[in-house]
Copies of this chain bind each other. A is one copy, B any other.
Amino acid sequence: MSTAGEHHDHDRDAWLREGLLGAHPPAGEWDRPGAHPGAARVSISFTADSGTERRVRVPAGVSVFDAASWNGIAIDSTCGGHGTCKKCRVRVVDDDGADPPVSRLDPRAFSPDELRAGWRLACLAPANTDIRVEVPPLVTRPKAATVGVGRQVILRPAVQKRFVELAEPTLADQQTDLERLLAALDDLDLRVDLHTVRALPRVLRVADFRVTAVVVDDVLIDVEAGDTTDRSFGIAFDLGTTTVVATLLDLSTGTPQAVGSVLNAQQPFGADVITRISATMLDPDSLGRLTERAHATLDELAQEVCREARVAPAEVYEIAMAGNATMTQLALGIDPEPVGVAPFVMAARSFPEVRARDIGVRVHPGARAYLFPALGAYVGGDIVAGMLASGMDRDRRVRLFIDVGTNCEIVLSDGDRLLATAAPAGPAFEGAAIRCGMRAAPGAIEGVTIGDEDVSLQVIGDVEPAGLCGSGLVDAVAALVGAGLVDGTGRLADGTAVRSRRPRLGARLASVGEERVFVLRWAGDEGDLARAVYLSQRDIRELQFAKAAIATGWRLLVEEMGLAARDVQQVLLAGSFGSYLSPASAVRIGLVPEVSVLRIVSAGNVAGEGAKMALLSMRERAGARTLLKEVRYVELSDRPDFNDRFIDQLAFPS
């Protein structure tokens, strides 16, 4: 990689021609059905029977039911929002005095008088203007779970299990087995898997017609003997490029029962997405093998979490998955090449009819898979999941979300609008292009403090340091800047000059060939650079490049939103590096806006948390769809001033 000086001259168009992941995909007006960029928000005031009033703001067009669910307000429902159970009755009063729209199914649920009085089915009532909604007392007792960044999720999973006791057939009552069962589920309008029809005669008769129907959204996927309603599970996956995480949830309570994580078995094909895509371009068999490995990884985790939680795989009826566009396409066996090569086009944004087995996960044979939709080739399902889990669109504060990785996705929201962009940070954070870089594993330096004369290191696993990982890199550079050993332009101080006043620190400044380095740990004798762990000048340039891309990204978003950097009230750092970056170091090097470190939050595995939310609530899936409509993608490469700003951001703040 070139030095900072050469970066100044890097030709952006060359990046585009090379089709590197680092190239900036243009925003354009990407086609998404029903897109309302920056949709106006409306205000809904919910009044419960007790008199309590809650005011929420949602994008215009969102259903009253979703608006309530997203804000922890429970309304009865048993049909998953399809309008068939008729239980989500609310009274809607339009602040302007207009009649709220009547849906096709409202006349089946209400008398004409009730309709005139404003009674509506909440799942079909859109909030197009400011309205007030009266919610009758609950008949059911829906549970809730806390997921993501403190988000309260009312449990509305797609999976429903219903125990029914059917009358046995007689010569006078020869209803077919299926008709008999469907009649007992008449608040639902169901499609039926063939698997269910095959199992039905035997299961009914073995169980004396007392059976449990297993429904996922609007599909009857199985029927089980007796009452098995307490055994209902799902698995949420974060399909990361490097690490894959699975959480098994009890869908009756919303609580995790087991968590597992494993390295993505696609690693041998490349550490990052672009290398894996290149592999498929070089060898046509690679796609199949990459897909197999994705499947093997996901299934291994599924079996593991089931074992740990003592759950039979057949008791897992749905899975949810958050992954970037390339990971998602590879898992589905879809050629990812067009995603990685100009003009950077996905095969599809969302995938409705997917079964768990289609991505290799062997749980219940009819189990469905919910895959997070992607905003675009560069802001994938994992980011959408992260936004959901962070409540990016449900918070009045100005919040900045940064997923730090090879490609950094940045999202800015002010409670009304959301802007997103992707900044090509390069491989610095992966530890790949760093001289002594390594993955975050035992032996990796993840923290660095530099005192007057001493250097103290935090090493993963508390073993002898073997290298430097992403968060260690940031810490090291921040510490060096703080200690005055790296200047504002990013240049390592000359050893001779430093040794005069700070001999011990100065002794660490050396050269490897023509290049200046700072030794973090001598392996053997001092002076023996061959086995030392050090930070090189080039490494610092890599970091400058990466942080300049990110800083330019969020600065442009902030400007686009008509704000200033100081208006940012919270910064969420996500991604495998973001979670471990020291907030103070991040501020020190100018990676994030200069806010109090208390306002910089490690968002943890928000993609995985988003997947959990989707599993626990179909309303949150509606939330993801709404996010897609609301978020406006900002194309960095279109900016004529991008290069100049990028150059400005290379420097470390004083």
Contacts and interface: CB of A to CB of B under 8 A. Distances in A.
Interface stretch (A125-133, A194-202, A225-233, A599-607): A194-202
A194 B344 contact: no
Interface residues of A, number: 52
Interface in A305-361: 332-335, 337-338, 342-349, 351-354, 358
A566 interface: no
A646 to B, nearest CB: 20
A171 interface: yes
Contacts of A654: none
A559 interface: no
Interface in A35-77: none
A377 interface: yes
B348 A174 contact: no
A288 to B, nearest CB: 11
- Tell me if A's interface is mostly helix, strand, loop or mixed: loop
A347 B178 contact: yes
A600 B66 CA distance: 65
Contacts of A342: 171
Contact of A30 (B30, B175, B193): B175
B26 A347 contact: no
A3 B194 CA distance: 46
Contacts of A348: 176-179, 192, 197, 200
A183 B349 CA distance: 14
Nearest to A346: B176
A354 B193 CA distance: 9
A344 B28 contact: no
**Stoichiometry, copies per complex:** 2
A529 to B, nearest CB: 46
B351 A30 contact: no
A191 B352 contact: yes
Contacts of A26: 171-172, 174
Nearest to A633: B174
Contacts of A354: 194
A175 B347 contact: no
A205 interface: yes
Determine which residue in A172, A197, A358 has the highest number of CB atoms from chain B within 10 A of its CB, and name it: A197
B334 A198 contact: yes
A154 to B, nearest CB: 29
B28 A177 contact: no
Contact of A349 (B30, B176, B347): B176
A205 B338 contact: yes
A198 B353 contact: no
Contacts of A578: none
A25 interface: yes
A347 B172 contact: no
B353 A174 contact: no
B353 A177 contact: no
Contact of A175 (B31, B175, B194, B352): B31
Contacts of A104: 104
Contacts of A349: 176, 178-179
27 contacts: A26-B171, A28-B171, A28-B172, A30-B175, A31-B175, A33-B179, A169-B338, A169-B345, A171-B342, A174-B344, A174-B345, A174-B376, A174-B377, A178-B347, A179-B348, A191-B353, A192-B348, A192-B352, A194-B332, A194-B358, A197-B332, A197-B347, A198-B333, A198-B347, A200-B347, A201-B334, A201-B335
Interface of A: 25-26, 28, 30-33, 104, 169-180, 183, 191-194, 197-198, 200-202, 205, 332-335, 337-338, 342-349, 351-354, 358, 376-377
Given A25-B171, A177-B345, A202-B335, 15 more contacts: A25-B174, A169-B343, A169-B345, A171-B343, A174-B377, A177-B346, A191-B352, A192-B352, A192-B353, A194-B358, A197-B348, A198-B332, A200-B347, A201-B347, A205-B338
